[in-house]
Structure 1
Amino acid sequence: MKVTSDCVKKAVIGVHWYVLFVKSGREHRVEQYLKKIVGIDMINPFIPLHEFLFKISGTVKRELKPLFPGYVFIESDMAGQEFIRKLYNKIYLLSDIVRILKYSDTEIAVRDSEKQMLLDLCNNEHCIESSRGVIKGDRIYITNGPLRGRESIIKKVNRHKRQALVEMEFMGDKRLVSVALEIVEKVV
């Protein structure tokens, strides 16, 4: 099976995700290295991204940043032990790669529930785009974007920075990650 970079909204049975912990700021270098040294039909390395909104001279600009700085994901149809056996030596040739993340010695692939959460939030480029919403009283209502219908995962909103902190599971831990959220109206 050839792995493609298209995100589907349902986790594909038989396709696993693995996570590499890499030196911070070297994510794109590791991604390109993996694409070059390993057959593209065996793996698809990618970096989950999120839109970052900021204002310069009165204009809102958009920039893409890693959702999980210091991590590179690998999509593959190889099961855990086969993945380790075939790629271990190639992965550790690059000094920018620190280690493969694992839940335990026998559980290496990202759990389906964690994978599905990312797939639900991502577009086809593994990127969480910005959402828009309104605040009515003390409640947030998302009107469009990937956070629509998922208001419960929003833990904090910074209107001035156009960001929301959302809670996600990542390799067995709960993490707060920043995603773009524009609040277009606040009603008291």
Structure 2
Amino acid sequence: MALYVIQVVGGKEQHVCDLVNKLLSESIKECFIPRREVMRRVEGSWISIRETLFPGYLFVETDNIQHVMERLARIPAFTRLLGVSDEKVIPLSQDEVAWLTALMKPLDKVVEMSVGVIEGDQVIVTDGPLKGHEALISKIDRHKRLAFLDMRMFGRTKTIKVGLEIVRKHA
């Protein structure tokens, strides 16, 4: 089984993922949308919400990508497999898959909130999926409780946001 990426119209990820799961159930293991858990301020208090990690993209696990390509053309929505070159579709690399599986919970495909502290100019993650992956963090927005990660995905470097709450800062 390999993991492939399908580009869709932003905001339509769940609708298209449902169609793919329904119409291609015999040739895929699963179609999913990676999500992130972040904190948002609503009416003065912080609540946890889930957002799409890669807006406009679905992930599909299959060992029969040729059949998936043929069936995607019949789905009444914009779908485009990434990594298509000379009629050959390239799956995500082992590094990209390892990166995703290290951060996401396997069942619900969510990158949960992480918790950390700042010691001097160094971030130390004490709990959550970013624990042990501090080197991936390129920037932090403490007010919005977000960490920005630079990673290789889809053949280029992408900056993605995940939830990180800094509970303490020591100078």
Correspondence list, 1:11-160, <5 A: 15-39=1-25, 42-76=28-62, 78=63, 82-84=64-66, 86-102=67-83, 104-105=85-86, 106-124=88-106, 125-160=108-143
Q: Percent identity?
A: 33
**Which one-letter code corresponds to 1:101 in the other structure?**
L
**Pairwise CA RMSD of aligned residues?**
1.6
The residue matched to 1:97 in structure 2 has which SS?
Answer: coil
1:25-65 deviation per Cα after TM superposition (whole angstroms, max 9, x unaligned): 11000110011111256331001111121122443211111
Q: Distance in 2 between matches of 1:167 and 1:43?
A: 29
Structure 2 unaligned blocks of 5 or more: none
Q: Which is richer in strand? A: 2
**Residues paired across the two proteins, number:** 169
- CA positional deviation for 1:142: 0.4
1:69-126 deviation per Cα after TM superposition (whole angstroms, max 9, x unaligned): 00000011x1xxx412x12232122343331000644451111110000000011211
Q: Distance in 2 between matches of 1:52 and 1:116?
A: 22
- Say whether 1:175 aligns with 2:163: no
- CA positional deviation for 1:170: 0.7
Structure 1 unaligned blocks of 5 or more: 1-14
Q: Distance in 2 between matches of 1:95 and 1:107?
A: 21
- Call closer, same or farther: CA 1:107–1:92 in 2, change over 3 Å: closer
Q: Distance in 2 between matches of 1:166 and 1:97?
A: 28
**For the Cα contact (< 8 Å) 1:132–1:182, is it kept in 2?**
yes
**For the Cα contact (< 8 Å) 2:6–2:82, is it kept in 1?**
yes
**Which one-letter code corresponds to 2:12 in the other structure?**
R
TM-score by length of 1: 0.84
TM-score by length of 2: 0.92
